[in-house]
């Protein structure tokens, strides 16, 4: 039995509660209008452009409104904030200025995001104040803001505890507590803080726990701090996977960076996320990609809050098209229009995979995911396919020539667009004058323009000594889990090494031709 299934069974057994099945989830989506939601919230929701509820909202909103303790599991980007935020807003008594609801989030960024979302929902509800409370912000100012009377706080555990110690947060009237991104808070070592906070909450309260994954410690928190919680689980495959084209590439470890760059060049996404398994790898890869001329920024837990903000602003605004991150750092970051997700490392946990690729293909758009697989890691791909009932295709690595021809067709498309949309009569005159001289045809002149646009890349096609891509592909789907074999690798790349020595070329020389396509990118972007 897969890990995930085992976890599920454990949960089902523990809960002994009615579970919401996939079938129920698949039925058509509820509209906000058709619910008991307050008219003022509905108005705000309409303004925000939401029409249908997301699956987790459909299940969680009516349930949470009944006052029931619950656990909501759904992957990142599925609208969990509204799932608990709307019911909370409905429960707040605006005439009572005391604190009534506490939402805990793992990071300042997430706290701010969630607080902002709640403010939007409550735009037409007068007298409701939502305050984010996080470390790094001047505590004196926070205290002043709290004194102004906030009914809802969205805070990071450390800072919330601080305020509790200082008695600047009074919990007497708190009737609702939510742990948002609970798994991540546990990952980040907030367990003790969370427990300290929960222990000081009024006994009579509603407790919600929202999370993308369900590791064991969450069960323990549930046992200790929730009453008869109902578990609502959205299966990730249903939410996003059909919209994402997933591919994987069998590569040698030392070729990973090269292959990644080719995939970026070939698909040329406007906004891309690259995931690594470690902070160190994030740093290293960021540095290397920057050196190659890519506008890439790295994000991980060791950055200061200021650095994080800078990186996120660059990525959001599009000044950096590539964000390289660890799973933890990327959690909950809400950026739309991510066109591609690259798994530089195969994730250690299947749920992480679903999570990572769920960052693309949002809002009905199709996205792409690319996973680099070294040697035996191919079995992990099979695992993911089985567990998520999805298909991840092995693909061939684009060659430098593939990349160039793709660029050429893009340039042609642009040219056609200009011909259609702009007045090109003057330019046409210049060309006709040149043709009248009789030395060159229109085709030759067009080709020369193309060459100018492509720059050195035409040269790269010529200088490409060998293509590790096409051969790699021959191994194709012959791998069956057992293989992904070292033998296969040695075989394939052994040949390559042979070619090199046949020509009496040194290793570094061959590598240069590998990198040829990338130098172009470097030149262009810097």
Among ligand ADP, Mg ion, none, residue 68 binds (CB under 5-8 Å by kind): none
* Token pair of 135 as six digits: 């470390």
Q: Counting contacts by CB under 5 A, is residue 362 touching Mg ion?
A: no
Q: Counting contacts by CB under 5 A, is residue 359 touching Mg ion?
A: no
Minimum separation from the CB atom of position 63 to ligand ADP (A): 16
By CB under 6 A, name the one of 78, 107, 343, 369 that touches ligand ADP. 78
- Please state, in angstroms and as integers, the Cα–Cα distance from residue 151 to each residue in 120, 132, 197, 399, 414, following that order: 15, 11, 17, 58, 54
By CB under 5 A, name the one of 80, 407, 514, 521 that touches Mg ion. 80
Helix 216-225 and helix 3-15, axial crossing angle in degrees, nearest 10:
10
Minimum separation from the CB atom of position 73 to ligand ADP (A): 10
By CB under 6 A, name the one of 68, 73, 76, 404 that touches ligand ADP. 76
Burial 472-484 (b: 16+ CB within 10 A, else e): bbebeeebeeebb
Residue closer to ligand ADP by CB (options 194, 212) is: 212
Of 77-85, 89-97, 134-142, 234-242: span binding ligand ADP (CB under 6 A): 77-85
Place of tokens 């050195």: 456
Q: Counting contacts by CB under 6 A, is residue 334 touching ligand ADP?
A: yes
Minimum separation from the CB atom of position 241 to Mg ion (A): 20
- Please state, in angstroms and as integers, the Cα–Cα distance from residue 186 to each residue in 84, 181, 193, 463, following that order: 20, 9, 10, 52
Minimum separation from the CB atom of position 124 to ligand ADP (A): 17
Q: Which of 285, 283, 287, 288 is nearest to 302 (CA)?
A: 283
Q: Counting contacts by CB under 5 A, is residue 279 touching Mg ion?
A: no
Among Mg ion, ligand ADP, none, residue 55 binds (CB under 5-8 Å by kind): none
How far apart CA 427 and CA 438 sit, in angstroms, is 18
CB atoms within 10 A of CB 244: 22
Q: Which of residues 212-241 bind ligand ADP (CB under 6 A)?
A: none
Q: Which of 107, 115, 101 is nearest to 136 (CA)?
A: 107
Rounded to 10 degrees, what is the CA torsion of 46, 86, 221, 173? Answer: 160
**Maximum alpha-carbon separation in the chain:** 92
Minimum separation from the CB atom of position 212 to Mg ion (A): 8
Q: Counting contacts by CB under 6 A, is residue 205 touching ligand ADP?
A: no
How far apart CA 343 and CA 276 sit, in angstroms, is 7
Q: Counting contacts by CB under 6 A, is residue 153 touching ligand ADP?
A: no
Q: Which of residues 42-71 bind ligand ADP (CB under 6 A)?
A: 50, 53-54, 57
Of 78-86, 88-96, 125-133, 260-268: span binding ligand ADP (CB under 6 A): 78-86
By CB under 6 A, name the one of 4, 70, 77, 160 that touches ligand ADP. 77
How far apart CA 456 and CA 410 sit, in angstroms, is 16
Binding site for ligand ADP (CB under 6 A): 50, 53-54, 57, 74, 76-82, 332, 334
Binding site for Mg ion (CB under 5 A): 80, 332
């Amino acid at each position: 039995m897969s890990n995930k299934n085992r976890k599920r069974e454990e949960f089902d057994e523990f809960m002994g509660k009615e579970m919401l099945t996939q079938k129920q989830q698949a039925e058509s989506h509820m509209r906000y209008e058709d619910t008991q939601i307050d008219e003022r919230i509905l108005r705000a929701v309409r303004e925000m452009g939401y029409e249908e509820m997301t699956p987790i909202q459909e299940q969680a909103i009516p349930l949470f409104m009944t006052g029931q303790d619950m656990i909501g599991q759904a992957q990142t980007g599925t609208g969990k904030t509204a799932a608990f935020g709307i019911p909370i807003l409905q429960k707040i008594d605006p005439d009572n200025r005391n604190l009534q609801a506490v939402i805990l989030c793992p990071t300042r960024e997430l706290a701010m995001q969630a607080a902002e979302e709640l403010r939007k929902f409550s735009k037409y509800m007068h007298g409701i104040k939502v305050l984010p409370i996080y470390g790094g912000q001047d505590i004196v100012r926070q205290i002043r803001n709290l004194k102004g009377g906030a009914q809802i706080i969205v805070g990071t555990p450390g800072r919330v505890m601080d305020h509790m110690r200082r008695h600047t947060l009074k919990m007497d009237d708190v009737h609702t507590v939510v742990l948002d991104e609970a798994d991540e808070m546990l990952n980040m070592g907030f367990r003790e803080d969370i427990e300290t906070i929960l222990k000081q909450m009024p006994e009579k309260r509603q407790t919600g726990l929202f999370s993308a994954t369900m590791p064991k410690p969450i069960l323990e928190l549930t046992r200790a701090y929730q009453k008869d919680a109902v578990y609502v689980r959205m299966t990730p495959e249903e939410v996003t996977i059909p919209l994402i084209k997933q591919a994987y590439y069998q590569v040698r470890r030392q070729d990973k960076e090269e292959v990644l760059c080719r995939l970026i060049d070939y698909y040329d996404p406007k906004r891309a996320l690259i995931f690594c398994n470690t902070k160190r790898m994030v740093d290293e890869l960021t540095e290397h990609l920057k050196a190659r001329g890519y506008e890439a920024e790295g994000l991980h837990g060791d950055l200061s809050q200021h650095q994080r903000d800078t990186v996120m602003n660059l990525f959001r605004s599009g000044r950096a098209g590539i964000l390289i991150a660890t799973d933890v750092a990327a959690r909950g970051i809400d950026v739309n229009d991510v066109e591609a997700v690259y798994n530089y490392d195969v994730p250690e946990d299947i749920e992480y995979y679903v999570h990572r690729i769920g960052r693309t293909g949002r809002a009905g758009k199709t996205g792409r995911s690319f996973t680099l697989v070294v040697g035996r890691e191919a079995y992990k791909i099979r695992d993911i396919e089985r567990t998520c009932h999805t298909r991840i295709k092995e693909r061939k690595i684009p060659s430098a020539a593939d990349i160039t021809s793709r660029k050429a067709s893009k340039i042609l498309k642009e040219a056609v667009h200009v011909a259609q949309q702009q007045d090109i009569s003057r330019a046409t005159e210049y060309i006709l004058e040149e043709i009248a001289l009789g030395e060159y045809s229109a085709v030759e002149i067009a080709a020369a323009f193309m060459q100018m646009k492509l720059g050195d890349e035409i040269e790269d096609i010529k200088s490409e000594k060998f293509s590790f891509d096409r051969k790699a592909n021959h191994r194709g789907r012959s791998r069956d889990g057992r293989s992904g074999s070292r033998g296969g690798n040695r075989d394939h790349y052994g040949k390559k090494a042979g070619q090199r020595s046949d020509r009496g070329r040194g290793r570094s020389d061959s590598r240069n031709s590998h990198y040829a396509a990338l130098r172009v990118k470097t030149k262009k972007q810097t």
